Amino acid sequence: MTVMQQAYNVYEDRCPTRLVLDRLADKWALLILDRLEGGPVRFNHIRRDIKGISQKVLAQTLRKLERDGLISRTIFPTVPVTVEYALMPLGRTLTDTVSALAHWAETNMDAIFTAQRAYDEAHSV
């Protein structure tokens, strides 16, 4: 089923679906959602697991996902303070699709790299 057959047209500017898709189409958000699938995780734990993400971007992305109601943020008054992030029911309905995208990437990366080499060779000469 394509999007055009729906009540909303995702190709339209100002389409609310676009606002949601813009948010979802973010590599860090997808990786974080996938990482949370196994259960609640702390801030620095995510930071250490997802190599290459900066503290600033991790904090920003977690805030956005929390605002969207996809994940929850729970503070435990330990010393030092512990903050746990977990998937909300709404976020859980998304993880199948996110995993499917990650799985597609892994399955097809060799074909993509082959295509890239062919393209570069054809366009360098």
Q: Pick from 26, 34, 37, 68 the residue near DNA by CB under 7 A.
A: 26
Would you tell me how many other CB atoms lie within 10 Å of the CB of residue 98?
18
Picked from a second copy, DNA, none, the partner binding residue 74 (CB below 5 to 8 A depending on kind) is none
Q: Measure CA 119 to chain center.
A: 29
Question: In whole angstroms, how close is the CB of 32 to DNA at the nearest point?
Answer: 12
Q: What is the DSSP string of 87-107?
A: E-HHHHTTHHHHHHHHHHHHH
Q: What is the DSSP string of 40-104?
A: -EEHHHHHHHSTT--HHHHHHHHHHHHHTTSEEEEEE--SS-EEEEEE-HHHHTTHHHHHHHHHH
Distance (Å, rounded) from C-alpha 101 to C-alpha 109?
12
Under rule CB under 7 A, residue 68 binds DNA: no
Site for DNA contains 117 (CB under 7 A): no
52 counts as binding DNA under rule CB under 7 A:
yes
CB of 9 to a second copy, least distance (A): 9
Which stretches of the chain bind a second copy, using CB under 8 A? 1-4, 6-8, 10-14, 16-22, 24-27, 29-31, 34-35, 37-38, 49-52, 66-70, 90, 93-94, 97, 99-106, 108-109, 111-116, 118-120
Interface ranges with DNA (CB under 7 A): 26, 28, 42-45, 52-57, 59-60, 62-63, 73, 79-83
